[in-house]
């Protein structure tokens, strides 16, 4: 079943507004991402060779964790104010509406992390030659993280203070993207990591929206 353009655009605009609320949708993930990445040198020392070797992995781990900072509120407000019930009663596809809301949150909370990556990578000593493929990988991986995180957020929509529950559900699904993403950073665009990372993203695009829709229908019952 398809969703008409009006509910989709309305949900997308609403999600953009929620993500911008108080500026936290942008600042919290950025602060968490930068803070997590920059604490590593303090714990491991200033060995430039070591930092350059572990830098891609550190950035991917920081990206995965930062992507979950704002997921708790993606669907909770819709359940609480009755918007979710209206969407279900309208007969429109909840899966497409959920996917549009998740994409809006990625634009506000995930895309800035990709843009910030070169600065953090430079501080960690990651060679700049690796940053272009890394940024492409982070964009693909970030979308994958937010899609699986959206599934976790939908499953936890009826749970108060569900941040920890979302992390427990989502993190196992993040592992393939992290593994292939690190390989993209290390091997570049011609390695085997990029096709597998792309496959992970396409799999998430195909599976996550229906899973979000099913979880939201259960939450509304």
Reported as a single tens digit per residue, the pLDDT across 75-101 is: 877 777 777 777 777 766 788 888 888
Mean pLDDT of 118-142: 79
Mean pLDDT of 171-183: 90
Q: Tell which wins on pLDDT, 1 or 207.
A: 207
pLDDT digits (tens, 9 = 90+) for 14-39: 776 766 664 555 677 888 888 877 77
The number of angstroms, rounded, from the C-alpha of 219 to the middle of its chain's C-alpha atoms is 22
Mean pLDDT of 110-126: 79
Compute, in degrees rounded to 10, the torsion defined by CA atoms 209, 211, 214, 218: -120
CA distances from 153 to 38, 122, 157, 185 (A): 28, 33, 6, 29
pLDDT above 90 (res 202)? yes
Rounded-to-integer distance, Cα 122 and Cα 127, Å: 7
Q: Say what the pTM is.
A: 0.84
Task: Note the pLDDT of residue 209.
Answer: 92
DSSP 8-state class, residue 192: S
Residue 59: pLDDT band (50, 70, 90) is: confident
CA distances from 67 to 1, 40, 81, 212, 216 (A): 29, 18, 25, 17, 20
pLDDT digits (tens, 9 = 90+) for 99-115: 888 888 888 888 888 88
Mean pLDDT of 140-147: 92
First to last CA, the chain: 20
Query: What integer best gives the mean pLDDT of the chain?
Result: 80
110 neighbors 26 (Cβ within 8 angstroms): no
Residue 66: pLDDT band (50, 70, 90) is: confident
Mean pLDDT of 63-85: 80
Task: Note the pLDDT of residue 20.
Answer: 62
Q: Tell which wins on pLDDT, 191 or 45.
A: 191
pLDDT above 50 (res 1)? no
């Amino acid at each position: 079943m398809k969703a008409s353009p009006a509910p989709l655009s309305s949900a997308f605009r609403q999600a953009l507004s929620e993500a911008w609320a108080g500026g936290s949708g942008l600042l919290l993930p950025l602060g968490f991402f930068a803070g997590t990445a920059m604490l590593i040198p303090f714990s491991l020392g200033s060995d430039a060779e070591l930092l350059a070797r572990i830098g891609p992995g550190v950035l991917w781990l920081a990206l995965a964790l930062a992507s979950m900072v704002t997921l708790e509120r993606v669907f909770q407000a819709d359940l609480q104010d009755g918007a979710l019930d209206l969407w279900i009663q309208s007969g429109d596809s909840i899966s497409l509406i959920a996917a549009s809301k998740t994409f809006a949150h990625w634009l506000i909370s995930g895309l800035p992390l990709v843009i910030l990556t070169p600065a953090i990578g430079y501080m960690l000593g990651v060679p700049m030659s690796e940053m272009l493929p890394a940024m492409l990988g982070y964009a693909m991986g970030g979308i994958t993280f937010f899609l699986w995180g959206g599934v976790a957020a939908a499953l936890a929509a009826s749970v108060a203070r569900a941040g920890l529950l979302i992390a427990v559900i989502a993190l196992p699904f993040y592992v393939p993207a992290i593994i292939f993403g690190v390989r993209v950073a290390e091997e570049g665009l011609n390695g085997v990591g990029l096709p597998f990372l792309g496959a992970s993203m396409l799999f998430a695009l195909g599976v996550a929206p229906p899973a979000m829709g099913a979880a939201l229908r259960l939450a509304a019952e």
